[in-house]
């Protein structure tokens, strides 16, 4: 072994330089098939799809509090799937204050946040915030339908960039204009994001109807540019807009908002009023039945066709009538009657 090292000299100790692997489709410069050429079993990693420089490094943290139901969990997972620039985190404890979320976003290196807050295991609230400066908005989430539940015919590429379509009302009022900018920064995928694809094949629509914001997701069909719904879908009822992140001075409060507790209370009161009305109607009918009836005056024509009964003479019986024997058996009773008849016949 030592002789071989001496024969090789110092040049043998030098390691050959590593050559970068090339794609199998790229031709070899020397054109020869030698040991340097990659075999059929070797695969090279393709270059990333996004070739540009990632400048807008928006990251959205999507997580929730404890106590959410399965529908909210699936909705949260659907948003993470549709937004490649999102990050996940463990559920937050109910006892923790909302200001802790700013620290969580800082640790996760996120500057936007979507937080789902569950109350009473039936009410769902959504926070959209620009951390840590603000502003932030709180919504009541209603009519939630997840991606797997709807079973729509539409489909889109995973990680593709969406188009955002807004109702014209967003440009007319200032609080809607603020929400529009917040939606654009949160839901739009940054250009040249490493996990995104350079395709635009679906649309996020935000429509204002009945003082609520309706969210829909549609696929763009290339043939005729028609839209087919993918999902998920939900309705956002605005509660308040705050100046800070998860708190601070109130910039706007929705006058048309009605809390779920008040809504349930009004439903109970309306049902109780209907039952009370039915009970009052029943009591009024019973009083009418039991009430004194109007007595009509005597009609003189009622006695016209009445005939007086014949008067019979009054007979006074001086002898005590014979007591009849109480016999349960009818045959014995007949025998006793026959014996009496025979006695009477003999005496005569």
- Look at residue 5 and tell me if it is in a domain: no
Is pLDDT of 307 > 50? yes
Per-residue confidence (pLDDT) for residue 295, from 0 to 100 = 63
pLDDT class of 301 with cuts at 50, 70, 90: confident
Per residue in 71-108, pLDDT (tens digit) is: 999 999 999 999 999 999 999 998 888 989 999 999 99
Q: Which of 64, 114, 65 is nearest to 85 (CA)?
A: 114
Q: What are phi and psi of 161, to 5 degrees?
A: -90, 130
Summary mean pLDDT of the chain: 83
d(CA 15, CA 6): 16
d(CA 254, CA 211): 9
The token duo for 6 is: 């001496």
Per-residue confidence (pLDDT) for residue 121, from 0 to 100 = 86
d(CA 121, CA 176): 29
- Look at residue 334 and tell me if it is in a domain: no
- Look at residue 287 and tell me if it is in a domain: no
- Look at residue 290 and tell me if it is in a domain: no
- Look at residue 338 and tell me if it is in a domain: no
The domain of 186 spans 60-263
Q: How many CB atoms lie within 10 A of CB 305?
A: 6
Per residue in 270-295, pLDDT (tens digit) is: 999 999 999 999 999 988 887 766 66
Whose tokens are 């696929």? That residue is 219
Per residue in 114-124, pLDDT (tens digit) is: 999 999 888 99
Per residue in 188-210, pLDDT (tens digit) is: 999 888 888 888 999 999 999 99
Is pLDDT of 332 > 80? no
Per residue in 210-255, pLDDT (tens digit) is: 999 999 999 999 878 889 999 899 999 999 999 999 999 999 999 9
DSSP H helical ranges for 108-213: 147-150, 174-187
d(CA 185, CA 181): 6
Question: Which DSSP symbol is given to 225?
Answer: -
β partners of residue 92: 65
- Look at residue 11 and tell me if it is in a domain: no
pLDDT class of 181 with cuts at 50, 70, 90: very high
Which of the two residues, 346 and 305, has the higher pLDDT score?
305
β partners of residue 248: none
C-alpha angle with apex 103: 97 to 109, nearest 5 degrees? 145
With 0-12 CB in 10 A as exposed, 13-18 as middle and 19+ as buried, what is 116?
buried
- Look at residue 295 and tell me if it is in a domain: no
- Residue environment code for 223-245, b if the CB has 16+ CB neighbours within 10 A, otherwise e: eeeebebbbbbbbbbbbebbebb
Is pLDDT of 186 > 80? yes
Number of domains in the chain: 1
Supply the CATH number for residue 108's domain. Answer: 3.40.50.10480
β partners of residue 182: none
- Look at residue 309 and tell me if it is in a domain: no
Per residue in 146-163, pLDDT (tens digit) is: 988 878 888 888 889 999
Residues above pLDDT 90, as percent of the chain: 51
Residues above pLDDT 70, as percent of the chain: 82
Backbone angle region of 151, left / alpha / beta, with phi > 0 → left and psi within -120 to 50 → alpha: left
DSSP H helical ranges for the chain: 2-8, 10-13, 70-82, 100-107, 147-150, 174-187, 260-290, 330-347
Torsion sign across C-alpha atoms 76, 82, 83, 84: positive
pLDDT class of 177 with cuts at 50, 70, 90: very high
């Amino acid at each position: 072994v030592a002789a071989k090292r001496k024969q090789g000299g110092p040049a043998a100790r030098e390691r050959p330089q590593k050559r970068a692997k090339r794609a199998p489709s790229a031709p070899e410069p020397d054109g020869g098939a030698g040991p340097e050429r990659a075999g059929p079993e070797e695969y090279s990693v393709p270059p990333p799809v996004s070739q540009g420089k990632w400048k807008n490094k928006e990251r959205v943290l999507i997580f929730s509090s404890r106590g959410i139901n399965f529908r909210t969990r699936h909705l949260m997972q659907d948003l993470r799937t549709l937004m490649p620039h999102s990050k996940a985190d463990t559920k937050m404890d109910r006892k923790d204050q909302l200001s802790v979320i700013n620290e969580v976003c800082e640790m996760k290196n996120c500057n936007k946040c979507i937080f789902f807050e569950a109350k009473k295991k039936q009410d769902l609230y959504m926070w959209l915030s620009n951390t840590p400066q603000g502003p932030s908005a709180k919504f009541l989430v209603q009519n939630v339908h997840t991606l797997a539940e709807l079973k729509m015919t539409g489909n889109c590429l995973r990680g593709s960039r969406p188009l955002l379509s807004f109702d014209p009302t967003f440009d007319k009022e200032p609080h809607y204009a603020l929400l529009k900018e917040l939606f654009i920064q949160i839901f739009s995928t940054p250009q040249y994001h490493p996990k995104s694809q350079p395709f635009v094949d679906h649309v996020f629509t935000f429509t204002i109807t009945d003082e609520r914001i309706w969210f829909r997701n549609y696929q763009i069909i290339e043939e005729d540019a028609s839209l087919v719904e993918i999902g998920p879908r939900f309705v956002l009822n605005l509660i308040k807009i705050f100046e800070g992140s998860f708190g601070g001075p109130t910039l706007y409060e929705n006058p048309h908002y009605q809390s779920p507790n008040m809504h349930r209370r009004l439903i109970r009161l309306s049902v109780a009023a209907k039952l009370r009305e039915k009970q009052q109607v029943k009591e009024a009918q019973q009083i009418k039945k039991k009430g004194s009836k109007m007595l009509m005056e005597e009609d003189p024509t009622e006695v016209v066709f009445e005939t007086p009964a014949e008067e019979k003479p009054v007979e006074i019986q001086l002898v005590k009538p014979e007591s009849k024997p109480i016999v349960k058996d009818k045959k014995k009773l007949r025998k006793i009657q026959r014996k009496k008849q025979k006695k009477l016949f003999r005496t005569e």
